[in-house]
Structures are given as C-alpha cells and as structure tokens.
Structure 1
Amino acid sequence: MSLRLLYIIDSLRIGGAETLLLDLLDAAHQRGDQVKVAYFTQGPLEIEITRRGVETVRLSRHGLRDPRALTRALRLMRDWNPDIVHTHLIKSDLVGQLAARYMNRRRVITLHNTDPWRRKRVLSGIYRTLTSGADACLAVTENVADHVARFGGYNRARIEVVQNGVDLDRFAAGRVQPMDLSQFGVPEDAVVLAKIGRVTEQKDHENFLQAISRLQERNLNMHALIVGDGELSEVVRQRARSLGLGDGQLTFTGNLRDMPSLLAAIDIFTLASKWEGLPMALLEAMAAEVPVVSTAVGGIPDLIKDGVNGMLVAPSDPSALAGALECVIADADARGRLGKAGRDTVESRFSGAAMMDRLWSIYDMSGAGSKFVGDGCGLR
C-alpha cells in the first residue's frame, strides 16, 4: 500500500539534511509513495524538488516568530491527510511535531546534530515538551542519540539509530568527468583541498582559515576551496583577506550542485566543524575515494579511524588541522590509501539503499492500529 509522506524541513538551502531530503524524495518515488514538502526558508533546492514533481508549501518566511506557521501546517495536514509527518531540524520539529500531534498523524523525527543549544535547560525543555511522544525518534548516529538523551531528557532506549547513507554508484571514482577547476583560478599542478558545506558557526571556517594560513607560510603547492554559502559568508571572506589569503591560495566558489564532478576533481576533503552528526558531504567524499581530514566531533570518530581511513584532529585547533593537512598534501601514496579505505568503509556500512530500506521498514509499520519500532520518543 502506498503512503502519503509529508516532509517538513527548516530550509531548502544546500546542506546535509537537505541533501538527505532529496534522496528521500527519490526513494519515495521509486516505492510509489506520494510526497509533499513543507519548509520555512527558500533556497536553490526548491527547483530540484519541483523537477521531481513534488509540491512544496512554505510555512512562513519569519520562522518561529510567525504563529501562522502552525496554522498553515495544520491546514496542510487537514487538507492533504498525510499518513506520516517526518520532520528535520529544530523549527520544523517544533511546528511540525506539534501540528501532527494535534491532527493525530503518525510522527517521525530525525535528530541530525549534537547541537550545543540542547545543553540549555529552558530551550531543551521547550523542545522536549513539543516533540515528545513521536511515533519514531531517529538519530543519524549513536553519538547524536546519546547527546539528545543526556541533555534533552529523552529515554535513550526509545531513540533508534538510522545512519545516513550515500548513493555508492553516483559517487564511484572514475564514473564522472572531473570538474574544470581552472574556472576558479586553481593551478593545474596544485594539490586541491576543499571545505564543502554551509558557511555557519557550526562549520568553524575560522579554524579552517587559520590552518590554511599556516600552510601558506610553508610554501606548499596547494590551493584551497571554500564551497558553499551561508549567513557568515561575508565575514569569512573578510577574515580570509585579513589573514593575507588571496586568490592564489584560496577561492570561494559559492554553492556548487554537481558534487560527484567536484569531488572527482579535488585531492583532499576537509571538515573543520565544532559539532556534527553524520555529515552527508563527508560520506560523499569517502564514497568518491577522496581522503578526508576532519575534526573528531559528533559521530565522525565512529566512522573514521585516524590514519586508517582518514585523518582526525581535535576541534578548534588550527595547528593540528594544518599539521594533518600538510602530511596528506605531501604524500600522494597516503592520499590514495586513505581514499580507498574510506570508500571501503562507506560500502560496508553506509549505503543509501540500506538506509532507505531500514527507514521504510519503519514507515511500513504505520498501518491501522500498529506501532512504530521503539514506540516513540519517550521521556526518562
């Protein structure tokens, strides 16, 4: 029996949760389910969702400050009558879960990050009150589940881990034409390292820029790319200039959508975040056999073993990040070894097909009178 799935997400900008949403829409189409997407902030992914024949509904342009967001969510659920409401990220969790509870819809919530705001008792209490009792509470890693249980007051036994997965065929090395990086002023013989993701506090571009500045002092034949956009874009650009990082060392590309082509063209993927769950961009880089240098935050240490299938450093430590990057820049054999081991890890543990099968097995338990696995996000 086909399902009617309503996905609610904070934005349609380019990011990990948003990339996962596109994969969910594709999986729903393949399984014959009907889908709609509700959101708050506009972004370039709206075009890709529309191309898939999926209707989008904007709940509000003012976020949680607009009480009409809840009214619109209630109206959408009343008029379209979804079987399942699946929410992603904080605004959508708060509004979507409350509306779905009122409308007596099956509720799924995915927890994506080890967000620091959960340590604040008042905020965590509000979130817990509005979202508790969801029929299925999913976390992308064990670390995220532990974090939410510890600081959010949830029963850890009720949180089920469904790890993110990646389309292995789409990112297989040698299957796509590498992107022409000369358009960004990248020398043909340079070792190219890229930081891919939203330009936000979480991603800690300050850490990355300071590391690149240290590498620049060592006269390495390298070029860095910052791929993405966000609320701190201009601040980060100004900071790069203040550190003396010009076009010859660092290029801001803005958003790029052809990730397979980009990953095929770079030599090193870098993640400098302060906190994470299980980043989709990281999994995609590993699937493309691009060696990874990352901070050891969130669920990443469960995925990467330092020196085996990637390099790990402490967060907010630009000297350590620069040191790890220098080792990988200088050793082409190490890059090849780490990249191959990363691909092997993703193949064995993080296939997109396996993730979707597990998620839909949870969805399919939504028949009349049934309960989801785990019986919801219970409180301690």
Structure 2
Amino acid sequence: MDKPSLHILHSESSLGWGGQEHRTFKEMVALRERGHTLELVCQPGAKLGERLTAEGFTVHHVRMRNGADLGAVWRMRKLLRQGRFDVLNTHSGRDSLLAGMAGRLAGTPLIVRTRHLALEITSLATYTWLPHRVVSVSEHVRQYLIGKGVPAAHAATIYTGIQAPEPVTSTLRAELKLPDDAIVVGTVAILRAKKGHRELLEAAKPLLERHPALHLVWAGNGPQYDNLSALLASEGLADRVHLLGLRRDVANVLAGCDVFALATHQEALGTSYIEAMAMGLPVIGTRVDGVPEVIEDGVNGLLVPAQNVPALRAALETLIGDAALRQRMGEAGRAITRSRFAVATMAAEMEAFYRNSLAERGHA
C-alpha cells in the first residue's frame, strides 16, 4: 500500500537569496516531484517566495517584524490550522521563533528546524523547545547542536544536494582571451573577508610569477568587491586575476577552470566545492567546520589549514603542476557528488526523516 503524501509548510523570514534559500528551493521542488504538497510562508518581497511562485507553488506572505511579532504568530497559527499541515519546517532565526510558536499553538504534528550555518546560535529555544526535530546540513553542525543541548536522537544530518550538471562547452576562456595553455584556478563565492580571497591572492602571487600561463578567476559579488578590485589594480594583477562579478552561468565558469580553490574561514558544508566537484574539478579547501565532509584529502582534492598561506600555496603548486593528478581527483570528486550529494538523495532522506519522526510522535 502506498504511503499517503505529506502536506509540508516551509517558513523563511530572510528576504535575500543565498545558499540557505537555494537549498530550501531545491528541496521543495524535489519533494513535490516525489508526490508531496509543499507551501511556503515568507515575508513580502522575499526572493525565495518570488522564485517558488514562478515555479507554481502556493506562497503565503506574512510580515515578520521582529521576534516579538505576535500578530505574525497569530496569522501563521491560523494558516497552519486551516491548512492541516503534517510538517512545519523552519529555517532562519526569526521565522523559527514565530512560526515555531505558531506551530505549537496550532498543534502541528511535526515541527522541524533546519540549521544551515556554522555560526554560534543565538536562541537555543528554536532548536530545543519549539521544534520537535532538527536537521543540520553537516555532521559538524549536528555535533555542535548536540553540544548545545539538542538531543542526539532528535538531530539528523542531511547533506545539501545538487542537480547533476549538463555537459557544458565553456566560453569563459574566449571571453577572457586566455591563451590555449592557460591553467585556470577558479573560485565561486560571495566576496567577503571570511571567504579567504586575500589569502588566496597572497598564496598565488609567487606562482603567478613562476607560471606565466596561470590565471585566477573569481566569480561573485559582495562587500569586498571594490577593495579587491583596487588591490588587484595596485598590484598590477588585474590581467591575471579576473574579477567576474555575480554570474548566473556558474557551470559555464567552472567548465572553463582546471582547479577550484576556496580558502574559506568558516563553512557549514561548502556547496561551492560540491558544484565544482560535479563539474569534474579537483578542489582545494580549508580544514574547517563541515568542509572535510566534502573534501577527502588526497582523494578528490587537498585540504589546508585556514589562513595558512604557505600551505595554500603548496596545494596550488601541487595541482598546477600535475595534470594527471588533477584528472584523477576530478573524476573522484564527480563520483562522490553522484553518490553523496545528489538532490534526489537529499529529498529521499528528508522524506524518510519526516515520516520516521511523525511515526515516533504517534502520527504515522
């Protein structure tokens, strides 16, 4: 006998679009494809709401002014009761507090909080008292939450999945007028200090002198864009380190690279590494937070300590100088992505987690 489909409401108070919102979007689309009904409650103007509306989802708008917005709690309580949802899945701090209270008042059978970040938590209640269960995007984050008081039996790690990319014939090298023998090290990340672009530049500068064919390509925008642009100009490196700005054609950018490097200081998991691995690139990352769950040192890439310029330089030189190693690691990364980080796997594990948690709570 087929199991009944689930009616799931996601909540999100964030207005922007980043890795967290992208995961929620992919998860909702994939679970709908598995036969479930999913809806979103978000603030007016939220990017996630706009994108899900375009995909045909029902999106409810509730302004969430602050953590004490009882009007928002009341409206979401009414929504949950009228919709007879099986599951409420919250995401950011504010909606986890407000929607979590609404879910408790409405008697929603299962309330789940997803933790997407590797930052210090600011409200323990939104992980222990309000939700019945917690999902983390990496085992590192799960262990952190357990250490803060979340019962181990109530917390699960479900990795973020990505769609397998279509084959791409990249136009990147032609766009940048790179020589045929160019070796391209790519980075796709928001331009924030904690993403390590400055360390990457310091590590690469001697290599750029020794390897005339070496080029760095940085895709992304952010608060450090102007500072990095000025730095590259002052160092005379603007023709070797290419700032692309925000790009929608990430697969096209990655397909034009030989190596992916991100010297991040903090990362809950590292979806950018996974996307690069899916394109067959060897990856260089830092041994922080959830990154070692993605990069197996010496298998699909190289791990270095965060903010360690000499170690980062050595890793770059290793991969720049060994095409066979790049090929071998790239193939391993593609295989790891297919087996561990597929959207279909994420959706199946989320469904199983919802169903098992409902059964444990007597709502099978």
Structure 1 length normalisation: TM-score? 0.81
Q: CA deviation at 1:208?
A: 2.8
Cα distance in 2, alignment partners of residues 372 and 241 from structure 1: 62
Q: CA deviation at 1:333?
A: 1.3
Q: CA deviation at 1:62?
A: 6.4
- Runs (5+) with no aligned partner, structure 1: 374-380
Instruction: Report Cα offsets for 1:99-139 as digits up to 9, x if no partner.
Output: 32333322111222321x34xxxx3xxx1123324222112
Q: CA deviation at 1:25?
A: 2.0
Question: Number of residue pairs matched?
Answer: 358
Instruction: Report Cα offsets for 1:166-187 as digits up to 9, x if no partner.
Output: 33xx22xxx4223311475251
Partner of 2:245: 254
Q: CA deviation at 1:271?
A: 1.8
133, 136, 145: which one aligns with 1:136: 133
The answer as to whether partners of 2:5 and 2:35 remain within 8 angstroms in 1 is: yes
The answer as to whether partners of 1:63 and 1:91 remain within 8 angstroms in 2 is: yes
Partner of 1:149: 146
Matched ranges for 1:341-356 at <5 A = 341-356=332-347
Cα distance in 1, alignment partners of residues 162 and 263 from structure 2: 21
The answer as to whether partners of 1:6 and 1:37 remain within 8 angstroms in 2 is: yes
Cα distance in 1, alignment partners of residues 274 and 324 from structure 2: 21
Cα distance in 2, alignment partners of residues 92 and 337 from structure 1: 44
Structure 2 length normalisation: TM-score? 0.84
157, 178, 196: which one aligns with 1:161: 157
Aligned partner letter, 2:55: R
The answer as to whether partners of 1:40 and 1:58 remain within 8 angstroms in 2 is: yes
Cα distance in 1, alignment partners of residues 290 and 211 from structure 2: 34
Counterparts in 2 of 1:27 and 1:216: CA distance versus 1, 3 Å = same
Counterparts in 2 of 1:242 and 1:43: CA distance versus 1, 3 Å = farther
Counterparts in 2 of 1:208 and 1:66: CA distance versus 1, 3 Å = farther
The answer as to whether partners of 2:218 and 2:244 remain within 8 angstroms in 1 is: yes
Tell me the SS of whatever aligns to 1:281: helix
313, 322, 326: which one aligns with 1:322: 313
Partner of 2:254: 263
Partner of 2:203: 211
Counterparts in 2 of 1:139 and 1:371: CA distance versus 1, 3 Å = farther
Q: CA deviation at 1:312?
A: 0.6
Aligned partner letter, 1:266: C
Root-mean-square deviation (CA, aligned residues, Å) is 3.1
Q: CA deviation at 1:227?
A: 1.8
The answer as to whether partners of 1:227 and 1:256 remain within 8 angstroms in 2 is: yes
Instruction: Report Cα offsets for 1:143-200 as digits up to 9, x if no partner.
Output: 11112222x3323343222222333xx22xxx42233114752514322222112333
Q: Higher relative contact order at CA 8 Å, sep ≥6: structure 1 or structure 2?
A: 1
Counterparts in 2 of 1:90 and 1:186: CA distance versus 1, 3 Å = farther
Instruction: Report Cα offsets for 1:2-31 as digits up to 9, x if no partner.
Output: 322222235464432222222212212212
Q: If you compute each CA radius of gyration, which structure gives the higher value, 1 or 2?
A: 2
Counterparts in 2 of 1:138 and 1:209: CA distance versus 1, 3 Å = same
Tell me the SS of whatever aligns to 2:186: strand
Instruction: Report Cα offsets for 1:273-292 as digits up to 9, x if no partner.
Output: 11112222222221221110
Partner of 2:41: 38
Counterparts in 2 of 1:25 and 1:319: CA distance versus 1, 3 Å = same
Q: CA deviation at 1:293?
A: 0.6
The answer as to whether partners of 2:43 and 2:64 remain within 8 angstroms in 1 is: yes
Aligned partner letter, 2:114: T
Q: CA deviation at 1:371?
A: 4.8
1:104 aligns with 2:107: yes
Partner of 1:6: 9
Partner of 2:53: 50
Aligned partner letter, 1:99: A
Cα distance in 1, alignment partners of residues 294 and 331 from structure 2: 14
Aligned partner letter, 1:199: L
Percent identity, aligned pairs only, is: 28
Q: CA deviation at 1:336?
A: 0.5
Cα distance in 1, alignment partners of residues 175 and 44 from structure 2: 29
Tell me the SS of whatever aligns to 2:195: coil
Partner of 2:22: 19
The answer as to whether partners of 1:269 and 1:290 remain within 8 angstroms in 2 is: yes
Q: CA deviation at 1:47?
A: 5.0
Partner of 1:304: 295
The answer as to whether partners of 2:80 and 2:106 remain within 8 angstroms in 1 is: yes
The answer as to whether partners of 2:42 and 2:49 remain within 8 angstroms in 1 is: no
Counterparts in 2 of 1:114 and 1:76: CA distance versus 1, 3 Å = same
Instruction: Report Cα offsets for 1:182-227 as digits up to 9, x if no partner.
Output: 4752514322222112333442333333334443343441222222
The answer as to whether partners of 1:228 and 1:254 remain within 8 angstroms in 2 is: yes
